[in-house]
Structure 1
Amino acid sequence: MNIIFSLDQIEEVAEQILVSNPKKIILFNGEMGVGKTTLIKQLCKSLGVESATSSPTFSLVNEYSTSNNQIVYHFDFYRLNKETEALDMGVDDYLYSGNWCFIEWSEKIASLLPEETSTITIELLSDGKRELKLA
């Protein structure tokens, strides 16, 4: 799936992603500031998360509950120094829980990831729009 969009279309983009039936573990790739966290916040909202969402840059993971009692995990591994830090926090338990896992900076835990994932890559275009590729 390829989508070119502006940030004011983020709600529709999130819906398109969810309707496409991605794997529950989604890896988000793109430069810092391209909108990965913004998209994840909208995906959480579209899934029924009613509480405030934020980037887990310092805590590494945030956990949210949806209105129909699903769990959503949002990871940000930007500040991770070694994969062993992810293992120490129990990342395996999260990844194999069957719950939604949205992961930023997944390359920092590449050898720990299950085979069954979807990947979203976002690129900032020269006109300020974003190009999203879902694989």
Structure 2
Amino acid sequence: MKTLTIAYESELADVARELLPLIQRQPIVCFHGEMGAGKTTLIKVICEQLGVQDAMSSPTFSIVNEYRDAEDAPIYHFDFYRVEKLQEALDIGADEYFYSGDVCLIEWPEMIKELIPESHLEINIKLVGANQREITILSHGG
């Protein structure tokens, strides 16, 4: 487990750089944090560092967005905030995405925790103070 504290959004690039080698080993990454904690923002920075050129946004309504990295490999960005039943995630093939070997960046994974592979990274983002965020990185089963 590692904990980083950042005060500025510009520091997210350093956090993303630290995460990239971990993501290569464990491509399933679960982002936890309250609304507005910075999950989507950190995912955007990670994607930029992976060479994604597409416009990125949280897939709150579509559940999943697909991007392409610098080598044209897929990156899947999920947002399960609006999912009320596990079947909704199964209907879009979430389990197939998760076991594809491709990078899957998952917001609100607690909504579908039964589907998350044992081997995954967990990123917890917590607001501390007015502008500071505490980012905890945990590796599970890897």
Q: TM-score range by the shorter chain?
A: over 0.9
SS of equivalent residue, structure 2 residue 35:
coil
Match of 2:19 in 1: 17
Ranges of 4+ aligned residues in structure 1 off by more than 6 Å: none
Alpha-carbon RMSD across the aligned residues, in angstroms, is 1.1
Could you tell me which amino acid in structure 2 is paired with residue 15 of structure 1? R
Cα deviation for residue 69 of structure 1 reads: 1.6
| More deviation, 20-29/72-81 | 20-29
Q: Give CA-to-partner distance per residue, 1:42-95, whole Å, 9 cap, x none.
A: 001111111111100000000001121211000000000100000011111110
Establish whether residue 29 from structure 1 lines up as the match of residue 27 from structure 2.
Answer: no
d(CA) in 2 for partners of 1:19, 1:88: 31
User: Is 1:123 paired with 2:111?
Assistant: no
Normalization by structure 2: what TM-score? 0.91
What is the match of residue 93 of structure 2? 90
Q: Are 1:50 and 2:37 counterparts?
A: no
Instruction: Identify unmatched segments of 5+ residues in structure 2.
Output: none
Q: Percent identical across equivalent pairs?
A: 47
Q: Does 1:114 align with 2:120?
A: no
TM-score under structure 1 normalisation?
A: 0.96
